Chain A
Amino acid sequence: MLREPLYIVAGVRTPYSKMGTLFAGMAADELGRLATVELLARTGFDPARIEEVIFGCVAQPAESANVARVIALRSGIPQHVPAVTVHRNCASGFEAVTQAAEKIIAGRGDVFLAGGAESMSQVPLLYRDSAAKKFGTLARAKGLGNRVSAMLNFRPADFSPIIGLQLGLTDPVCGLNMGETAENVARDFGITREEQDQFSLRSHQRAIAARERLREEIVPVLLPAGKPGAPAVMQDDNGPRENQTMAALAKLKPVFERDTGTVTAGNASQITDGAVALLVMNEKGLKESGLQPLGKLVAYAYAGCDPSRMGLGPVFAIQAAQKKFGLGIKDADLIEINEAFAAQVIGCQRAARSDDFCRQHLGRESALGDIPDEILNVNGGAVALGHPVGSTGARLVLTALKELHRRKAKRALVSLCVGGGQGGALWVETA
């Protein structure tokens, strides 16, 4: 176990909103602020006592470099409290939490605000290099003649933008899009389209059934839009579909491999905006605060794997954590594995129970063990709820802890795969 546990004292998140819908006009700092101010209001905690604010964010807004600092200041956290933004792709929300744990173990403070914020709606479109050069020439051009000739250099193609989001979801090392890595996993383990769609249907059904429960962790967002006198309030995630059917899922075309592929928009995570804020402390900070903790982080590990099969990252991380701290799948009352792709979560289940895979890739004598469907992602996962990449890690911790309380259970394993070929695994317990 960690030399000093990290108490997760309280947490709040915004609803998760599909890209281009209700939060489309809000940047990551605004989403992070909404979660943070609600967290501070609900706990009544004096933000002057926070040692540092740590936020995960993958696509940092161009206008808020170090978005954590912007969130902190806009949330009324005094300016003497520093802030840092962390990035481990889809595990950025984990990274915020585990960095707080590391700082506490290193004796660098007692109280941290950790979280994740992401606006995937606002990932910018980019000009290609050739166009950028021409804009540079134009800006430097003096005199009308030079300016006109600089303008005449532009070609129509210069104005067709590169989609930043697509760029972010492509691994520059192996050259594959995230969806293509999921196709690899599906092929390796022979996971059919139907299995993936079944998994996805269940994710929606569980998320719909969990709506009331999830409200415990959500702050309703008072949207600036709406008619005068009847503004809109968003209090639930808008990803889960009440009437999701297998037939509807079956109609969708594979996105990444048109003809033979199995990964569709329906069995992949939704692209979403949202933010999470967690108040975390060591034992000393907790005692001084007088607050009741939600739970604690007792163990964690990150591990690397094949970037072209990044979806299997959780298995590697679970093994790494077991090696370091002795906790294995059997010790979990509840498991969350982020649903980047249905194929990849099913792949993790298959890999974990395969003696062969575990011998070959994890250096184990035998399989890691069974990840039972009954305790896996019981309130639905990213296929239904969505995956605002920088915030998801922190959400999984929050959602799992709340569920442990509801079940009066003790321990949860929370894991996710990371683009670039990594996995993260966190063990949390009720305090």
Chain B
Amino acid sequence: MANLHREVTASHVCVLTFDRPDSVANIFDEATFAELNAHLDFLASPEAREIKGVIFCSAKPKIFLAGADLIGFTKDPSMEKLERLIETGQQTFRRITMLPVPSVAAIHGLALGGGCEITLACDYRVASTSRETKIGLPEVQIGILPGWGGSTILPRLIGLPRALEVILGNKQLAAVPALKAGLVDAVGPRESLRELAEKQVIRGKRGSLPPQLMNLPPAAAFIARQARANVLAKTGGHYPAPLKALEVVIAALRGTVEQGFALEKKAFAELATGDVARHLIGIFLLQERSKKTRLPADLIAPAEAPRKIERVAVVGAGVMGAGIAQWLAARGTSVLLKDIAAEPLAIGMQSIRKLFRDGVQRRRFTGTEARAALDRIVPVAGDVPLRRVDLVIEAAVERLDLKQQIFRGLEAATAADVALATNTSALSIDAIAGALPDPSRVVGIHFFNPVHRMQLVEIVRGDRTSALALETALRFVKGIGKLPVIVRDRPGFLVNRILTPYLSEAGRLFQEGYAVADIDNALERFGMPMGPLRLIDEVGLDVGRHVATDLAARLTTPQGRPVPAMDEMIARKWFGKKSGQGFYVHAGKGKPTLNADVERLPGVAARRPADAKLFLDRLILPMINEAARVLEENVVEAPEDVDFGMIMGSGWAPFRGGPLRYADSLGAAKIVADLESLAGRFGESFRPSARLQSMAAGGRRFYP
């Protein structure tokens, strides 16, 4: 099968077009490299005497080249294979640079990783001004580094400061910024790319690059120190790739290109065989897996295709409703944002406007795009006709009777094939569907807060949810660029279910006299994006208690002791971030500071010294225990779903691969033993689940 097509124009320019069969993307796998090398052989042959230059382009509408074949890579991550992969790429790209004729990359669509590095091997680069065009080196995000020349050549081309933004900061450049940075030589509309590229061919072979002031030793050393400090502050030292990449980039500046390539190769092999890269690549693949989520096997696909979702009614303009409306509008969907009165709508619209303003400031949208998106949201107070709506998402207050009443109205007001979704984070879908004449229309579409940042969406399948409603939800969620996980209608669904014992236990530790900072620091060191008490502040103490109470009432497993100190905080309206104080004081834009008052609350025991090991045992192990129950109860189908959900939905230490990967690294036997001991000291809530016990007894793992 041909991944690459060759054509020689009347003006003797050879055009090599990447067009992987049956795929929307072009990638570099062994076959593609073999073909590319065959074409390079041709260019070196006497037949090609007339050729004046070579242009690389892609036939795909959205992707130039998406980089290396990660799936093939993870199937056989042996050192030998890795070294071959790196060497093939480096040698092939060096051949392009060494061609006697000029080479030009005509970039339209994503040029990422290896897809960017092949363009760096060319003499010239031209890029289309299309929205699809982005050039970047995201390797560090998956725990490796640009190993096909990117770490060596990019700083020589655009200077160290900008190169580090791309390599360490995952900055992806559109055509015009790339032109300004010196990464590309010309930009224009997609249709004119070929013409632009041919103009570069005429310029002839490019000489050596002009020296970059910032790459000289004194500046470079200074920049490197700063970059290193930034990386450490951001990653807490858990991620080796950015540090390694920085080291290679700086070292490569001092030597020849060939020496740089050798450094890249060595560092790549080191990183790629490590656990962190394995886990991070695993997450990348889980995201791809989520995008391909299908209806559960026991459901028969609906006879008629679900509606195309053009207009959505969002009921409730609170934090979640407004967040959902903003996300949908930004993705081109029209939204009817409904609430009972003008005042809550005004507050919702205010937060939506702010999100768009911030988006414009961060250049996520142009001013015109932001206004067009804002115009797609029509706020309405009270009841209006919903006959033209394709989907409803209810995001009202978490009260069952209220939701039941809302759904009675929605069912009558909308067409019979319209799915009625609830964004509830705790209530039962089946209970909400209650006594509706057609309860099969009700499905859960649970977004996480803040909606514009959290990619995960739990799609909740109620016992009576129809295949049509579920399929509608699934297509809708994928269509708006979120990552779905299908979960059963069990208390707390997936993420909140597993997170609740963790957060509750953190509250108990606090009450026993352990310092807020000690607890949170220990978990941040473990790799959580923020400590549990800080997370409670973000969620809101009142919301957290509501979820915990609801779970306790509906689950039969033993619950931990109550935390009166936190009830006292709620009574004092210390809800966390939204009320200005909780475990922390949240003032203005800066980092929240510790709230000294909480330690003086009645019921909080005298200060005890930090005990990081105890914190991790009491906080992480119950999550694993709960995750095992989640699998036991078939809330989700596979351990992958649990790890994916927890990483994407709660930021669970990504480099550890998720709670179940982490559990496998500990071993079920140790987990069970530790939990038994904790149960003896701190109560029945720690008692290991049946699944964990049988796994320990049989020496089994979550993952095969």
> Are B378 and A41 closer than 8 Å at their CB atoms?
yes
Are B380 and A38 within 8 A (Cβ)? yes
A46–B378 alpha-carbon span in the complex (Å): 15
Q: Is A143 an interface residue (CB 8 A)?
A: no
Contacts of B347 in A (CB 8 A): 229-231
Q: A43-B385, A44-B386, A44-B387 are in contact. Are A222 and B378 (CB under 8 A)?
A: no
CB of B346 closer than 8 Å to a CB of A:
yes
Q: How far is the CB of B574 from chain A (nearest CB, A)?
A: 17
How long is the Cα–Cα vector from A299 to B381 in the complex, in angstroms? 35
A108 to chain B, nearest CB (A): 25
Nearest A residue to B311 via CB reads: A76
| Number of A-B residue pairs having CB atoms within 8 Å of each other in the complex | 53
A220, A226, A229, A230 interface centre (most CB from chain B within 10 Å)? A220
Distance of A227 from chain B, by nearest CB (Å): 9
Residue with the highest number of chain A CB atoms closer than 10 Å, among B345, B353, B379, B387: B379
Closest to A232 in B: B346
Q: How near does chain B come to A38, taking the closest CB pair, in angstroms?
A: 7
Nearest-neighbour CB distance to chain B for A159, whole angstroms, equals 28
Most buried by B among A37, A40, A74: A37
SS of A interface (majority): mixed
In whole angstroms, how far apart are the Cα atoms of A224 and B372 in the complex? 16
Residue picked from A43, A226, A228, A231, most chain B C-beta under 10 Å: A231
| Cα A224 to Cα B350 with chains together (Å) | 6
Does A174 make an interface contact (CB < 8 A)? no
Contact (Cβ within 8 A) B384 A226: no
A233 to B381, CA, bound (A): 12
Asked if A76 and B346 make an inter-chain contact with CB atoms under 8 angstroms apart, the answer reads: no
**Bound complex: CA A119 to CA B233 (Å):** 51
CB pair B342–A41 under 8 Å, yes or no, is no
Q: Give a binary string over A27-42; 1 marks a CB under 8 Å from any B CB, 0 the rest.
A: 0000001000110111
Q: With CB as the reference atom, state the residue of chain A lying closest to B372.
A: A74
Chain A residues near B386 (CB, 8 Å)?
44
Contacts of B353 in A (CB 8 A): 224
A132 located at the interface, meaning its Cβ lies under 8 Å from any Cβ of chain B in the complex: no
Partner of B345, one of A44, A75, A222, A228: A222
Task: Report how many residues on chain A are interfacial, defined by Cβ distance under 8 Å.
Answer: 24
- The CA-CA distance from A220 to B346 in the complex, in Å, is 10
Contacting B at CB under 8 A, from A226-268, are 226, 228-233, 235
A231 and B375 contact, Cβ closer than 8 Å, known pairs A42-B384, A76-B334: no
Judged by a CB distance under 8 angstroms, whether B388 is at the interface is: yes
Residue of B whose beta carbon sits closest to that of A46: B388
Q: Is the CB of A222 within 8 A of B346?
A: yes
Residue of A nearest to B387 (CB): A44
Would you call B388 and A233 a contact (CB within 8 A)? Answer: no
A44-B384, A44-B385, A44-B386 known; A233+B375 contact, CB < 8 A: no
How many whole Å from A329's CB to the nearest CB in chain B?
A: 39
| Bound CA span A44–B385, Å | 5
Chain A residues within an 8 Å CB radius of B381: 220
Complexed CA–CA distance, A74 and B334 (Å): 12
Using A42-B384, A43-B385, A44-B386 as known contacts, say yes or no to A76 and B350 having CB atoms under 8 A apart: no
Residues of B within 8 A of A232 (CB): 346
* Residue pair B388, A76 in contact (C-beta under 8 Å): no
- Which chain B residue shows the least CB distance to A227? B350
Chain A CB within 8 A of B336 CB: yes
Assess A33 versus B349: contact at CB under 8 Å? Given A38-B380, A41-B380. no
Name the CB-closest residue of A to B371. Answer: A74
Given that A75-B375, A76-B375, A76-B376 are contacting pairs, would A231 and B384 also be in contact in the complex, using a CB cutoff of 8 Å? no
- Asked if A223 lies at the interface with its beta carbon under 8 angstroms from chain B, I say yes
A223 to B353, CA, bound (A): 11
Tell me the complex Cα distance, A224–B348, Å: 11
A44-B388, A220-B342, A233-B343 known; 11 new pairs, CB 8 Å cut-off, are A37-B378, A38-B378, A40-B378, A41-B384, A42-B380, A43-B385, A74-B371, A75-B375, A76-B375, A224-B350, A231-B350
* Residues of B that sit less than 8 Å from A by CB: 334, 336, 342-343, 345-347, 349-350, 353, 371-372, 375-376, 378-381, 384-388
17 residue pairs from A and B, CB less than 8 Å apart? A38-B380, A41-B336, A41-B380, A41-B384, A43-B385, A44-B384, A74-B375, A76-B334, A76-B375, A220-B342, A222-B349, A222-B350, A224-B350, A226-B346, A228-B350, A231-B350, A233-B343
Q: Which 9 A-B pairs have the closest CB atoms?
A: A44-B385, A222-B346, A220-B342, A231-B346, A231-B350, A37-B378, A233-B342, A74-B375, A222-B349
